[in-house]
Chain A
Amino acid sequence: MIRALPWLGLLALAGLAAWLLPDPLALSPHRLLPPSLDHPLGTDPLGRDVAARLLAAAPGSLGLALAGLGAGLALALATALPAAWLDGRPAGRALCGTAQALLSFPPLWLPLVVLALAGRGAGAQVLCVALVLWADLHWILRGEARRVLAEPFVEGARAIGFGPTAILAREVLPNLAGPLLWLGLVKLRAAVVLLATLAFLGLGAAPPAPSWGGMAAEARDWFLDAPWLLAAPAGAIAASLLLASTLAASLRGHLGLMPHPTRRSGS
């Protein structure tokens, strides 16, 4: 946890800055200024403060990624626990088959279908993240749940007459808390990158609302004159990914968890 302290300090600094910085949507004649004391990360072609926009974009970039991650974890739990209990039976196989089927879309194409159907709102973005992450999470959590189901205390619970729901909710679920938290931190990378990439492709939130991927797309035309426009969102994305992986590594040390959950996806 000690290694994560500088990162948490960075977060606190960002919170403080959100207070002091100007309005992220306010236009001004000071266009394309390099970083200075007044504008710590410079200004964009419309004279808007880049640092303020970066922070204003955090809920839409990081927040939606977290929401999608939470939805994906919940979805995966809802299918992995029954699939582990019904291992080998038709219902369990159907659940696994559905998860497997979603892996048959090339990456980024599943979101295209979701966005075509559900529009461009925040809900659609959350759904994209949840569905893309679901299959991987399902397989990992199912494996973990099967491991727990083989433990002697589950045998004991069965012997004193617990039903499947009680066993899954009271014996298995608490034992998955560690893996869940750690998986969440590991998969946060995929979630943040997916949303940023969609925004970069022009499939994210509508223009005036800032997002890190959208800011990177806008920065393209000005890269040679104003490289800070690209460096700022890229740095924000990289910092949040490194923060998550630092937290995940220290958490893994504490919990003694398995090393490589992401092997099968290849993405």
Chain B
Amino acid sequence: MTSALRSLLGGALALLVALLVLGLAADLLGDPVSRQIGPEGDAAASAALRAALGLDAPWLERVLRPMLDLFRGDLGTSSWLRRPAGEAVAEALGVTLRLALLAWPVGLAAGAALGLALAALPARLARLPLLLLAVPGFVVAVVAVEVFAVGLGWVPAAGYAGLRSLLLPAALLAGALAVKLALILQDGLRAIATEPFAIFAEARGLSATRRLLAYRLLPASALLARFGALQAGYLLGGALVMETVFALPGLGRLAVLALQHGDLPLLRAAMLAAGTGFLVARFVAEAAQAALDPRPTAARIA
């Protein structure tokens, strides 16, 4: 538990540093005012926008102000959307949360089932799903959207209009999660099968089902819990690719668009939301693993 807490604190520190660096970088990225009004624009208009965005302050204040505002709960104003960045991020977070909540349990269950099935196969055959990893996720997503959404018209191809829009991206995310999880779980199950307690269970003449569930799946559940919770963090951190392919107004797409528009307050706010979600998921992952499998902590004390 203490090590999980330590990594949570370390991660929070890293996130703060990243946010601070993004604040420092405002000047490096070019002037958002000349980007919006154009270099030959009206001088009075650019001065007004400059003052509205707080860009006329001395640079130290410009760097520190976002951090101070952050602690007061103010995430700043998006220079691209011209609205509070916190609001935009909260809306996008809703979409990403729904996507993740849909994909995660399905992927976890399918991965566990697939892992059990693969562990029953000969080792050579069970390596075949590794080939799937040679195809990047965005290629699979593009083919799926063109076939199922554009070609067959089963689900909407782009935009967010309720649950139906989330079905295909969630299925793709769940599939990717299931393959990764299955490969890790089958490795774990194979390793556990050679442990003395598993051999002893066989020698006692226990049924195959009971051996599989109580003597192999139970010890492997710590692995499952840790990896599963970590992946929840990844999904929450923004299924960037899926949100781009399906034009879903989620957190990842918001961050990519913010980067393309040079909108640092928005990128910073999205980063804060994604990073916090990821850190919480990782904390749960490590705490769950420690609870299910106390061995590593016991070894550290000894």
Mark A residues whose CB is within 8 Å of B.
97, 100-109, 112-113, 115-117, 189, 193, 196-197, 200-203, 213, 216, 219-220, 223-224, 230, 234, 237-238, 241-242, 245, 260, 263, 266-267
With A and B bound together, what is the CA distance between A106 and B240 in angstroms?
10
Docked-complex contact B15 and A107, CB < 8 angstroms = no
| With known contacts A112-B259, A113-B21, A263-B184, A105–B14 Cβ distance under 8 A | yes
Docked-complex contact A109 and B260, CB < 8 angstroms = no
Docked-complex contact A100 and B10, CB < 8 angstroms = yes
Docked-complex contact B15 and A238, CB < 8 angstroms = no
With A and B bound together, what is the CA distance between A64 and B139 in angstroms?
20
Docked-complex contact A234 and B10, CB < 8 angstroms = no
Tell me whether B178 is interfacial, beta carbon within 8 Å.
no
With A and B bound together, what is the CA distance between A189 and B146 in angstroms?
26
Contact partner of B11 among A101, A216, A230, CB < 8 A? Answer: A101
With A and B bound together, what is the CA distance between A115 and B143 in angstroms?
28
Docked-complex contact A223 and B142, CB < 8 angstroms = yes
| With known contacts A107-B237, A266-B180, A241–B134 Cβ distance under 8 A | yes
16 more contacts with CB within 8 A, not counting A104-B282, A117-B22, are: A104-B7, A104-B11, A104-B278, A106-B233, A197-B138, A200-B244, A201-B256, A220-B142, A223-B142, A224-B150, A237-B135, A241-B133, A263-B184, A266-B227, A266-B230, A266-B231
Docked-complex contact B255 and A104, CB < 8 angstroms = no
The B interface, classified by DSSP as helix, strand, loop or mixed, is helix
Docked-complex contact B10 and A106, CB < 8 angstroms = no
Contact partner of B275 among A104, A201, A219, A238, CB < 8 A? Answer: A104
With A and B bound together, what is the CA distance between A221 and B101 in angstroms?
30
- Can you list 23 A-B pairs with a CB-CB distance of less than 8 A? A97-B10, A100-B7, A101-B13, A103-B11, A106-B234, A106-B237, A107-B234, A109-B255, A109-B275, A109-B278, A112-B259, A116-B25, A116-B264, A117-B22, A117-B25, A197-B241, A201-B241, A201-B244, A216-B136, A220-B146, A223-B146, A237-B134, A266-B227
Docked-complex contact A234 and B136, CB < 8 angstroms = yes
Docked-complex contact A112 and B151, CB < 8 angstroms = no
With A and B bound together, what is the CA distance between A73 and B19 in angstroms?
26
With A and B bound together, what is the CA distance between A200 and B237 in angstroms?
18
Docked-complex contact B134 and A219, CB < 8 angstroms = no
The A interface, classified by DSSP as helix, strand, loop or mixed, is helix
Residues in B whose Cβ lies below 8 Å from that of A105: 14-15, 18, 237, 275, 278
Mark B residues whose CB is within 8 Å of A.
7, 10-15, 17-18, 21-22, 25, 28-29, 130-131, 133-139, 142-143, 146, 150-151, 180, 184, 187, 227, 230-231, 233-234, 236-238, 240-241, 244-245, 252, 255-256, 259-260, 264, 267, 271, 274-275, 277-279, 282
Docked-complex contact A200 and B150, CB < 8 angstroms = no
Closest B residue by C-beta to A106: B237
Residues in A whose Cβ lies below 8 Å from that of B131: 242
With A and B bound together, what is the CA distance between A20 and B244 in angstroms?
37
Contact partner of B134 among A117, A201, A202, A238, CB < 8 A? Answer: A238
With A and B bound together, what is the CA distance between A27 and B272 in angstroms?
44
With A and B bound together, what is the CA distance between A61 and B252 in angstroms?
23
Closest A residue by C-beta to B275: A105
With A and B bound together, what is the CA distance between A196 and B14 in angstroms?
26
Residues in A whose Cβ lies below 8 Å from that of B241: 108, 197, 200-201
